[in-house]
Amino acid sequence: MAKLVIIDDEAAILELMTKLCKAAGHQVFGCTTGIDGISAIRSNQPDLVIVDLRIGDVNGLDLVSLCRDQFPNTAVIMVTGHGSVETAVEAMRLGAFDYLTKPFDLGDLIKTVNQALQRNGVAVATPTALPSTTLRAASSSKLMGHSDAIQRIFDIVRRVANNDSPVLLEGEFGVGKHMVARALHEASRRSAASYKELQCSAMPEDALETELFGQTAIFNRAAGGTIHLAEVNQLPARIQAQLNTFLDEAQSKKGWGNGTGGADFRLIVSSTVSLEDAVKAGKFREDLYYKLSVVPLKIPPLRHRREDVKPLVEHFLKELAERTDDKAKTIDPTAIEFLEKYTWPGNVSELRNAIERACAFAENDRVKPSDLPAKVTQQIEVPTPSSCEGITKLPIGSTLDDFIKGQERVFIQETLKYNSGSREKTASMLGVSIATLYRKMGLNVDRKTTT
């Protein structure tokens, strides 16, 4: 049994980490302030400290330095957000063993804890099964859906999971690339080892170089696991060259997959832009592109697989309930209709945030359309045609072309009235040229604009 001190000022996260580490057989002292954490470290001289980078009263880096100077046998794991990865790398320069980026899977936490303890010569028991609610609550999301597109991705994941060839994931922001990368790891023979994810756009070039190729490089810390380099298209040219050379050396040492003579890892990279197009534009190395794209996989945006919206919503509702130990909320069918019609420019990430917001606003146990973000159900009020009385509500959330199919002429007429007959303002508001507006109104382009 190892002694652990965990310091995090977010009570819910502290509780989850504490439960997990206790379930793994460790003695845990949880603290919500830096002062209490320092006291616990001095009193218990723990084998390991887990500390959030940003706690209210103490800088996490100061705690790393404290352990290095006064408790050299105490390992430290830093917890940080994506925007603070550069500082987390600095923590490792000061002596931290590793860092975890929020949101992280609790399964990764216990694997990192065990690696840190083993490095310091502390015996670690074989992990027992953890409560499923704990693991599910900690997961960012599972790969799921009913659409043909997502089913094809499931099939590819199953087929290549145990193939150590590099995988290139491409898709828009928030489409779920990290979920596919995680699914590949969990379906592989490497699932018991670490899963490490690095946002290549999250740190300056020198810090990125250290994280990739320094003494405590992510490739060394993976320890037979999986590495996901996210936003690999953001790598500076110099780092691209170094990565290309590194991968050449790793392959020559036969270190990919069998661990003989080199770093043992499975590499997954992702990009929000086409790497092939980046190569053609001279922004990405062609030889590196071919190394990384052995197994290319494009993930379609959510607007192209609307049938996946409902199962994702149901999953997020269940996930939120488990996080708060509460009963899962239901959702009104009309709210589902709004969600399925919205275009989701932020994809799965935006949908998850929308459901979390809706649950926060929902009364009782049911999410209604009024609980959804305004951009999903937003309506504008305009006068009805002169032959009618009252107000007509025109829904926003679909493209202009989709709306025009049914009520194009009425919509243009009412927008003209809203703009006091100004065709220039109307064209600008509708996002079309003045010539297009005249054509749709059945007018000649050379006619004067009325005001």
What CATH number does the domain located at 379-440 have?
1.10.10
Residue with tokens 């994809």: 347
List pLDDT tens digits, range 289-323. Answer: 999 999 999 999 999 999 999 999 999 999 888 77
Residue ranges of domains in the chain: 1-131, 140-300, 303-377, 379-440
pLDDT digits (tens, 9 = 90+) for 55-88: 877 888 999 999 999 999 999 999 887 556 778 7
User: Quick one: CA torsion of 224, 226, 230, 233, rounded to 10 degrees?
Assistant: 70
Nearest residue to 299 (alpha-carbon basis) of 151, 166, 140: 151
Q: The tokens of 324 are what?
A: 């708060």
Q: Is the pLDDT of residue 140 over 50?
A: no
Type of residue found at 241: A
What backbone torsions phi and psi does residue 363 show, to the nearest 5 degrees?
A: -95, 150
User: How far apart are the two ends of the chain, measured CA to CA in Å?
Assistant: 82
CATH of 140-300, one of 3.30.160.110, 3.40.50.720, 3.40.50.300, 3.40.50.2300: 3.40.50.300
**3.30.420.40, 1.10.10.10, 3.20.110.10, 1.10.8.60: which CATH number matches 303-377?**
1.10.8.60
Mean pLDDT over each residue of the chain, to the nearest integer: 83
More confident residue, 279 or 419: 279
Q: How many helices (H) and strands (E) does the chain have?
A: 20, 14
pTM tops 0.75: no
Same fold, 1-131 and 140-300: yes
Torsion over CA: 392, 393, 395, 400 (sign): positive
Note the CATH number of domain 1-131: 3.40.50.2300
How far is the C-alpha of 131 from the C-alpha of 113, rounded, in Å?
18
DSSP tag of 47: S
